[in-house]
Amino acid sequence: MSERSIAVIGLGLLGGAIAARLCELGWPVRGFDVDSARRDAAQAEGVKTFDSAAAAIDGATRILLSLPNSDVVGAVLNELKPALCSDSVILDTTTGDPNFAVAQAETLCRAGVTYLETNVVGSSAQARAGDVTLLVAGDSATIDRCRDLFDALAARWFAVGPTGAAARMKLVANLVLGLNRAALAEGLSFAEKLDLSPALTLEVLQASAAYSRAMDTKGQKMLDRDFSPQARLAQHLKDVRLMIAAAEKSGADLPLTRVHEELLEESVQAGRGPLDNSAIIEVFRDRAT
């Protein structure tokens, strides 16, 4: 097997962006997705696609998963187990339950397979450009072995500890990122009601101490009502529910996140779940009188 050859299982927004970036950088990428349209799109980017996950990982030591949730990860890994080898490395980008990650790492370790959490902080558009942060957790020797891959995928990456630490850190990062996005949405909708220029408001915010990177990635989308997805609103609601579940287990109090959950649920109920997470601004516009 080639150490440089990589299989990407899950070619949706994030997985497709990761696969396209690696192809652009000259990596041989093998891919699979249950959706044939996603396979076709990835193939157009240079990915060699296959009709099954097992076929895709044949010839690849490193296997990157980009899947909707922990349940799907578990199902895919069960399917792949007969095809995994002792030198296989699973790199899981899925935002999921930290306890699930620990259990999977232990199960795979017994089969001689290494599991690394490889959580991505950033949108699919940022992943396509390599402008994301990676949170990596697991065996330190394997992390060191995968430095070339992490350097290719991310502007910065951090080894954050043993398995489970990356999922926990990703929840913290997504909490702050999501609240920054919600605050921006509320501020821009407030400016609209105050008869301020939305474009000028965004420019002022970007130049002031109120600045967050959410303004660069989501501000213009909110103003243009361009909700073509880079990261889906419903997916962030899933992440927020994971945050609240982790808070309940740890004894943390997340009052702002609970309000955020209500806003996201309202958005999903209004049919905006498949849209970009910048569509949260429409909740504030809906509520405005």
Which amino acid is present at 102?
A: V
Q: Where are the domains of the chain?
A: 2-161, 169-287
Tens of pLDDT along 13-53? 999 999 999 999 999 999 999 999 999 999 999 999 999 99
pLDDT bin (cut points 50, 70, 90) of residue 3 is: low
Joined together, the tokens standing for residue 177 give 């990122």
Q: Hey, which bits of the chain come out as E strands?
A: 2-9, 29-32, 48-49, 60-65, 89-92, 114-121, 133-137, 156-161
Q: Residue 60 contacts by C-beta under 8 Å, 6 or more apart in sequence?
A: 1, 2, 5, 6, 7, 30
Joined together, the tokens standing for residue 15 give 């997985």
Q: What's the CA dihedral at 2, 137, 14, 211 to 10 degrees? A: -140
CA distance 198 to 196: 6
We find that the CATH architecture of domain 2-161 is: 3-Layer(aba) Sandwich (3.40)
Residue 4 vs residues 1, 25, 81, 119: alpha-carbon distances, Å: 9, 11, 21, 20
pTM: 0.90
CA distance 27 to 149: 9
Closest to 135 in 3D by CA, of 103, 178, 171 = 171
At the top level of CATH, the class of 169-287 is mainly alpha
pLDDT bin (cut points 50, 70, 90) of residue 5 is: confident
Give yes or no on whether 2-161 and 169-287 have one common fold. no
Tens of pLDDT along 229-268? 999 999 999 999 999 999 999 999 999 999 999 999 999 9
Q: Would you call 280 helix, strand, or coil by DSSP? A: helix
pLDDT exceeds 90 at position 55: yes
Q: Residue 177 contacts by C-beta under 8 Å, 6 or more apart in sequence?
A: 121, 214
Tens of pLDDT along 77-132? 999 988 898 889 999 999 888 999 999 999 998 888 999 999 999 999 999 999 99
